Structure 1
Amino acid sequence: MADTANQTMASHPAAARRAELHRMVMPGHICPYGLKAKYLLRRSGYEVDDHWLRSREETEAFKAAHDVATTPQIFIEGRRIGGYDDLRRFLGLRVADPKASSYRPVIALFTITALMAMAASYAVTGDALTIRTGEWFISFSMCVLALLKLQNIETFSTMFLNYDLLARRWVPYGTIYPFAEGAAGVLMTAGVLNWLSVPLALFIGTVGAVSVFKAVYIEKRELKCACVGGSSNVPLGFVSLTENLMMVAMAVWMAAMA
């Protein structure tokens, strides 16, 4: 498809390339994909004839006239390309698969919490790389992971039941888990109430690590990880095991330092 797009572009001078864009622009709604399509067309060197669909009636009439189910719709040199994803394919650009597994959410999370930990350490000590940096990295990560789970706790707890050994025996544990993880993370960040945070993190981390290891490495099951919330497409395995082992390591470290 990329070759087709390049051949089409090559057969017309850049100044002559035109595209028609039909998108919804209404008082209460401006189609975001229409805006993205317009930007992408202009970035790709097209002059855009931007046609606004100003009402639901006008939009439905347009879809019926062209036998399409959605808008925006893009036409290039008289040929209907389709919607925004079709335009990306036409231009040889990647189209994300919403069902595809990805570690991107986890990479983003741990990158941000690492930078937060370094920033906090620098603000307090004047040095970005200290022992506290490592401690805060783990506790910040626990807090953010808990936050992501709490965004939709029902979905998280349902996915959690696929592999957590304790939640399978006592269903409410799936709802309690993110609160416990968040509480332990906050207390460890502050360095207070170690008598509570240490056993809490040690318990949930150990149960979690055993559960993940059993599901992935013994039973060889292919599951989605609930570690960054119930709607993620992160594969269960190394990431979730690391999350739990980090909690265990933090608990052991803080117990040793007490």
Structure 2
Amino acid sequence: MTTKDRQATLYRMVMPGHICPYGLKSKHLLERHGFAVDDRPLRTRAETDAFKAEHGVATTPQTFIGGKRIGGHDDLRRFFGRPVPNPGATSYTPVIAVFAMTGLMALAASFAVEGTPFTLRAGEWFVAFSMCVLALLKLQSVERFSTMFLNYDLLARRWVPYAYVYPFAEGLAGVLMVAGALTWFAAPLALVIGGTGAVSVFKAVYIERRTLKCACMGGDSNVPLGFLSLTENVMMVAMAIWMLTCASGGMA
């Protein structure tokens, strides 16, 4: 591409009450690829509507390169060979982000308390922090979570209020596990909700072969119900058994 070709014209909304974020992203993307940007802000609604009508487009921003219209931000990403997110596509990114962050939190807490990140307590905190964060995601919209949860959870199907109780129970168990308090209550609570969840997921996915989305991230994600969903519940069960074992060992 010649130097002359590396010129781009960008039309984007820059109004007193609204600066289009996709316009800023498009400008940044062009500049990252070495384009000199002729930035042409659309400063009023009338100006924006007139531009759309003139070029027969429904949205802004719009990028032109070499006199040819490339399109909006997604079109520009495609032009540069970059992936374009699909809102309906299956994604494990939310789960990976949660477990990566809670893992780092557990290592940091262990370092702060024990002087080293690699301790048995770090493993316990990892599970407890994960439960707290996952509960927080569910509590953002308990109604939305409960609707998705009722698709597969066996106990919730028999007693619908359980779908509303679950996020609070998971969060409470997680907080108590972080504190190492009321083990006699926290461990059985985690054992019940984790065990029921594990059986429900296993039945729905591996026996009935149903294709469902997991409610573990709060009911608005595209994480498929399957191995990772099962892992969340197995972690709770394992943590509960570990706590009960430690408690009984301490009493002995």
TM-score (norm 2): 0.96
Structure 1: gaps of 5 or more residues: 1-9
Matches within 5 A, 1:109-258: 109-258=98-247
Q: Secondary structure at the match of 1:98?
A: coil
Deviation of residue 58 (structure 1)? Answer: 1.3
Tell me the matched-pair count. 247
Deviation of residue 15 (structure 1)? Answer: 5.4
TM-score (norm 1): 0.94
What is the aligned counterpart of 1:69 among 58, 61, 66? Answer: 58
Q: Match for 2:156: what amino acid?
A: A
CA distance in 2, matches of 1:15, 1:187: 64
Residue deviations 1:40-79, cap 9 Å, x none? 0011111111111111121111111111111101111111
Q: Secondary structure at the match of 1:50?
A: strand
Does residue 57 (structure 1) correspond to residue 46 (structure 2)? The answer is yes
Q: Secondary structure at the match of 2:13?
A: strand
Deviation of residue 93 (structure 1)? Answer: 1.0
Does residue 91 (structure 1) correspond to residue 80 (structure 2)? The answer is yes
**How well do the aligned residues superpose, as a CA RMSD in angstroms?**
0.9
What is the aligned counterpart of 1:47 among 36, 48, 70? Answer: 36
Q: Secondary structure at the match of 1:217?
A: helix
Q: Percent identity?
A: 70
Q: 1:156–1:230: 8 Å Cα contact kept in structure 2?
A: yes
CA distance in 2, matches of 1:121, 1:163: 36
Q: 1:212–1:241: 8 Å Cα contact kept in structure 2?
A: yes
Residue deviations 1:18-44, cap 9 Å, x none? 111110001111000000000000111
Deviation of residue 171 (structure 1)? Answer: 1.4
CA distance in 2, matches of 1:14, 1:256: 70
Deviation of residue 14 (structure 1)? Answer: 3.1
Structure 2: gaps of 5 or more residues: 248-252
CA distance in 2, matches of 1:16, 1:257: 69
Q: Match for 1:174: what amino acid?
A: A
CA distance in 1, matches of 2:211, 2:132: 27
Q: 1:121–1:130: 8 Å Cα contact kept in structure 2?
A: yes
Q: Match for 1:221: what amino acid?
A: R
Q: 1:216–1:237: 8 Å Cα contact kept in structure 2?
A: yes
Deviation of residue 16 (structure 1)? Answer: 4.6
Runs of 4+ in 1 over 3 A off after TM superposition: none
Q: Which residue of 2 aligns with 1:17?
A: 6
Q: 1:70–1:83: 8 Å Cα contact kept in structure 2?
A: yes
